[in-house]
Structure 1
Amino acid sequence: MENDTIIHNQGLTKPEKDDYSTNNCAVTNALKIMGGKWKMLLIKIIADDCVSRFGELKRKMDDIAQTTLTIQLRELERDGIICRKAYAESPPRVEYKLTEIGITLLPVIQVLTDWNDNYCRLTK
């Protein structure tokens, strides 16, 4: 009796297109939206504060350049993770908060945080 997992009459076929191409991988697409040095931290800060203003974000992330912060916020807004509300006041006031889809990222960030804590514990 043989222990082969391939039946002899069954041919090995290669799929026409693999499901892990750069444009088709769900993980790659997700990381395009929330990846980078600052985005997850921004999402976490905005979630903790419920609503955040630009100056508050800049103070909490003192290592980030103002231009970089602006770019990261625009990308998160473009991708529907945060929404930006500008008030017609003097001086101008702009607030950022998570959208419904942005809120769904919070458990993902928590899982990654837990994984990192476990990884650090196991590799020490």
Structure 2
Amino acid sequence: MAGGVQIDTDGVGDFGTGMQKQATNGFADIAGRGADLHRQGVGFGSRMTPSDIVTQAKVRYAEALAHAEANLRAYQTAAGILAEVAEQIAQQFSTVDLNSKQAQQQVEYLMATATAAANRALTLDPDGGPA
């Protein structure tokens, strides 16, 4: 098929299902464990006489934790977006003639839209967290 997109709809569907499981369970589990580990806040330096250096380090550490957790949530969102479009492509194109120009354009549109949405979910603000 010259110039066309070939889609293994079963493979794309399996990919989408697996990615959706990771987005729903995997990232959520990791984010939950991270939140549990850091729920008590920044513990180091608590038995020391407060100093500017320790205080600044604690603030930076807390900010880093917040950014890491925000990034996990953003990755979870992006994974969900990509999983959804993979499942959508598999469903919509399992019975169509992928040689048709309209089918090719629809696949390209779905992929471009999902990629743009996933990129927006992963875009970081100047402070290092999701925008």
- What TM-score does the superposition give when structure 2 sets the normalisation length? 0.26
More strand by proportion, 1 or 2? Answer: 1
Structure showing greater relative contact order (alpha-carbon pairs closer than 8 Å, 6 or more residues apart): 2
More helix by proportion, 1 or 2? Answer: 2
